[in-house]
Amino acid sequence: MSDRFLFDSNVILDYLLQRSFPDSIKLYGQCLENGISILVSAAQLHTIEYVFLKQVKQDAPTQIGTAKLAFQAFLNEVSIVKTPVLIEKNHPLALRDMEDYLIEISAEAADVTIVTRDAGFVRLSKRCILTEQALAMLDEKRSLQASAKVAFLDLKAPHIEMRAELEAAFDRTLNSGWYILGNEVKQFEHEFANYCEAKFCVGVGNGLEALHLILRAYGIGEGDEVIVPSNTYIATWLAASHAGATPIPVEPDERTYNIDPALIEAAITPRTKAIIAVHLYGQPADMDAINAIAKTHNLKVIEDAAQAHGARYKGIRVGTLGDAAGFSFYPGKNLGALGDGGAVTTNDPVLADKVRVLSNYGSRVKYYNEVKGYNSRLDELQAAFLREKIKKLDEWNGRRKAVAAEYLKLLADADIVLPFVPEWADPIWHLFIVRNAERDQLQKKLSDAGIGTMIHYPVPPHLQQAYSEAGYTKGQFPIAERLANQVLSLPMGPQLSVKQVGGVCEIFTKAV
Ligand SMILES: Cc1ncc(COP(=O)(O)O)c(C=O)c1O
């Protein structure tokens, strides 16, 4: 049961008329005090207004002006949930009481719990509870919060926060009748290019495909080598492999966790065609140093910006720091869709055009295929959602920065390695990573105390079964291996409060 409440009309009227139902009044008051949204269905508003004003007229006719103002104030403090477009008129609840049925389907669409005093409604409804049960739920929620339980990632909260915008985006797409490569993708590409301060953006199916298509578009494939970090998510390597090239790992700088430019030159051979620099965990790689090496050896530089939407390197947004960049809109990313999605950004018109053609069956004109392309397009509906979410990106990245600042302050003396931020980096804290030699015990202790953590990543790509044919052995990339054994990602996200971070740090300092 959701602990977000849609109030039945009887409970609202108890509050507005101060009727002698103390649980209704207490519940309404507690929600107001604690900033918990009070939801009502659009279907109830007329009845509530009618009954409220009629009662006031009857009991205290001189107060009618005040009552009208009170009703306006009520409208201002509640959130109104629309009813779905079409309804099942013969539903048993609809046959008993149409208004209750409309409340039920509003609550179902918003995924919230109805609170009522009507036991008959509770019996017929799938999501209805009595006022006393709602008060008990709030008590339980408070005690849970006091126990400082924090999930590693809450993907639902940010989307609930912007439900109205997401629903409008869905309605817009549904009503357009155009579901592949329509106006939403076109507009989003334009908006994301602007955001990244890039000349071009091409939407694609996901982050892996973004990198893969860039390599294909540059003609990198069979017999070629692509330099990749040894410490990254496997997608960076897979992009090279899927293009037919060989990923050549280079160890990271142990302070920044990003590819160490000082080690790149030694990995370059006559077959090397490109370097994929990953802005891991949301922190930009040292692009000037990487670009300088690439220039000397005539290599392409591709940014893997899957974890770094909005991060800046020496004041410049990631996405234009190399020849081309691949982004992922996987739901957990700083800019995440409600499904898969990805994009390529670049200032190179030829590359942008090639990626666009490759991503759409090798076709520029429908049913005429220039090359053997792929089906890897950014979904129209996901683009519509992303257009709403990109409006929040800077604000949410800002909230992540506040969370990171609090961690850095509260954990400054803890026996762990904290993230290091070079003076030229403006990271957007996709993840907040700490390191400790006793990582597994630490993770267990935190988990026992209700703190969710994750490991990014427990096995480096060279030791994954998927790359067994390459014949890598343990110890060959010791920094990546050490990181895999020591890194721990603490809860991080725009919905995390500074108070929650304090709770995590209190438990953390005792556990470490
Ligand atoms: C560093 C990195 N590169 C590439 C990807 C691939 O993105 P996607 O999952 O959208 O294919 C991811 C995300 O999972 C990632 O973290």
pLDDT digits (tens, 9 = 90+) for 187-211: 999 999 999 999 999 999 999 999 9
* Atom from ligand 1 closest to the CA of residue 330: 10
Q: Which residue has the tokens 């992922």?
A: 328
The pLDDT tens digits for 482-494 are: 999 999 999 999 9
Q: Which residue has the tokens 């026992």?
A: 448
**Ligand 1 centroid distance, CA of 236 (Å):** 7
**Ligand 1 centroid distance, CA of 446 (Å):** 27
List the structure tokens of 44: 């109830």
pLDDT beyond 70 at 94: yes
Q: For atom 8 of ligand 1, which residue has the closest CA? A: 207
* Atom from ligand 1 closest to the CA of residue 278: 1
Residue-averaged pLDDT of the chain:
96
Ligand 1 contacts (CB < 6 A) are 206-208, 232-233, 235-236, 278, 304, 306-307, 328, 330, 340, 342
DSSP structure class, residue 123: H
List the structure tokens of 66: 């005040």
What pLDDT shows up at residue 143? 78
Strands 432-435 and 487-490, sheet pairing: antiparallel
**Ligand 1 centroid distance, CA of 447 (Å):** 26
Residues belonging to the chain: 512
Which of 212, 228, 330, 428 has the most ligand 1 atoms within 8 A of CB, as the residue to mutate? 330
**Ligand 1 centroid distance, CA of 258 (Å):** 15
Q: For atom 4 of ligand 1, which residue has the closest CA? A: 235
- The pTM of this model reads 0.92
Buried b (16+ CB within 10 A) or exposed e, 143-152: eeeeebebbb
Q: For atom 7 of ligand 1, which residue has the closest CA? A: 207
What pLDDT shows up at residue 374? 98
Which of 233, 327, 334, 382 has the most ligand 1 atoms within 8 A of CB, as the residue to mutate? 233
What pLDDT shows up at residue 148? 66
H or E stretch at 208: helix 207-217
pLDDT beyond 90 at 65: yes
Which of 328, 359, 378, 489 has the most ligand 1 atoms within 8 A of CB, as the residue to mutate? 328
Average pLDDT over residues 342-363: 98
The pLDDT tens digits for 257-305 are: 999 999 999 999 999 999 999 999 999 999 999 999 999 999 999 999 9
List the structure tokens of 257: 């966790």
Dihedral pair phi/psi, residue 501, rounded to 5°: -60, -40
* Atom from ligand 1 closest to the CA of residue 211: 4
What pLDDT shows up at residue 144? 72
**Ligand 1 centroid distance, CA of 210 (Å):** 9
Average pLDDT over residues 376-400: 98
**Ligand 1 centroid distance, CA of 304 (Å):** 8
User: How confident is residue 2, by pLDDT bands cut at 50, 70 and 90?
Assistant: confident
The answer to whether the CB of 396 falls within 8 A of the CB of 495 is: no
What pLDDT shows up at residue 146? 67
**Ligand 1 centroid distance, CA of 213 (Å):** 14
What pLDDT shows up at residue 147? 67
Whole-angstrom Cα distance, residue 240 to residue 212? 7
What pLDDT shows up at residue 474? 97
Whole-angstrom Cα distance, residue 416 to residue 437? 8
pLDDT beyond 80 at 1: no
The pLDDT tens digits for 401-454 are: 999 999 999 999 999 999 999 999 999 999 999 999 999 999 999 999 999 999
Average pLDDT over residues 137-149: 79
Average pLDDT over residues 351-355: 98
* Atom from ligand 1 closest to the CA of residue 235: 4
**Ligand 1 centroid distance, CA of 136 (Å):** 42
List the end-to-end C-alpha distance of the chain, in Å, as a whole number.
Answer: 35
**Ligand 1 centroid distance, CA of 268 (Å):** 25
- The string of DSSP codes covering 191-204 is HHHHHHT-SEEEEE
